[in-house]
Chains A and B, each alone.
Chain A
Amino acid sequence: MSAFPEPLLRCLEELQKLPGIGPKSAQRILFALLDRGQEPALALARSLESLARSVERCPACRAYRETGRPCLLCEDPRRDRSLLCVVESAADVLLIEATGEYSGLYHVLHGLLSPMRGVHAEHLGVDAIEARLSGGEIREIILATPPTAEGEATASFLASLLAERGAAVSRIAFGMPVGADFQFVDAQTLGRSLSGRKTMAG
């Protein structure tokens, strides 16, 4: 016999299916919700339901949009339609938006090439990139996957696939974090900072 009622256990189980949430975090979230009383928990339940029912992947960029409504990223007339930035996840779109340095279009891969984890080329939505390219507006594709083996493999795979399709393909630079001390930067990062250096106007 468990010390907890069935609905509580079921909720714990559902929460633990989410990435990064173990039994302890699931319990913390659940008890915080219960402690706040009925209304906040119902409000969350309602917003989860409306999320599941009314949000979908945009077929063009594969980020999320309100079902059947124009995509806020793809349809925004202020965005530069000659640039396409390829990222691993929708969360990365938010991070890049927060930099204020980019105003082009996006393509969300929803994963990195990792056959052992079941992520193959066909999961990356390459057809959506190709459809964009055949529109003829894209001038540059920026590969913004992380500097990990899977991130590099994905970028090199896409670069080989998209070469000679009329758009320049570039990789984001990797290097020293702002404010870093040389003494505390690892050799790989320092090496990449050197190989990715750029000319300074004098």
Chain B
Amino acid sequence: MTSLRSDAFVLSRSALTESSWIVCLLTRREGKMRAVAKGARRTKSPFRGALEPLNRVRVEISLREGRDLGTLMSADLEESALDLFGRWPAAGILLAVVEVLDRGLAEHSTEEETYRLVGAVLDSMRSGVSPALAWLYFASWFLRLHGVLGRPGRCAHCGAAKETGHFDAGAGGWICRECARSRLEQGIDVSSATREALGDVFRLSLPGLAARSPGPEALKGLKAVVYLALVSYLGRPLASGDHVSG
């Protein structure tokens, strides 16, 4: 039996028994993990209130050799996200963020950068960055960290150093006009303004990006690209896609 102490974001919880939850966490040290929170559904549980989605908590999880599912020993609330869920459209964006993390991360693979990304996105939303921009920043970086969406560069299909104005996840990402045609336009054309905005996302911090305030057309294009890339990465449309689909 070993035990893990780590900071973590709560992702989701599902009922295990009448009194217990299985909690899915994004831990700083071990990536996505699931643990049983015994008695967490009882009114007087010490976990009460701490295990809400996107709360930052300090957890101790006890792990048994050869088992994926740990037992949550303690969860101390460091920062609550409840106030953000109390604002719309921020709440709609957070529902989508939770879904991407919950469905898009493999268990027990280190995700320190994703962990820091979530923290940066929540902090920026707290300090007033628009939820729509926070979504684009989160989704672009999530996709980049998981090898789906890079900076437009060489054609991912033919390797030529040509302008890559077409995004086609099935062809490996950014491709040239000729390859787009040969693949029967399976992806989408992306304007140079949108590609520039994506470059800004990868170059600037989220508050920096907000200060630069990219144009609405560029953002609309970026919204479509990240949604397409996410659907391809997750293998199906987002259930929380109502507020973030392109």
Contact = CB atoms under 8 A, between A and B. Distances in A.
Given A115-B240, A116-B12, A186 B87 contact: no
B176 interface: no
B129 interface: no
Interface stretch (A5-13, A66-74, A89-97, A144-152): A144-152
B242 A186 contact: no
Contacts of B143: none
B48 A186 contact: yes
A149 B52 contact: yes
Nearest to A22: B17
Interface residues of B, number: 33
B95 A115 contact: yes
B60 interface: no
Given A116-B99, A156-B88, A149 B53 contact: yes
Contacts of A114: 95
Contacts, number: 72
Given A121-B242, A156-B87, A149 B82 contact: yes
A157 B91 contact: yes
A155 interface: yes
The 6 closest A-B pairs by CB, nearest first: A153-B91, A115-B240, A152-B85, A156-B88, A160-B88, A115-B239
Interface of A: 20, 22, 25, 113-116, 118, 120-121, 147-150, 152-153, 155-157, 159-160, 171, 186-189
Interface of B: 12, 15, 17-18, 48-50, 52-54, 77, 80-82, 85-92, 94-96, 98-99, 102, 238-242
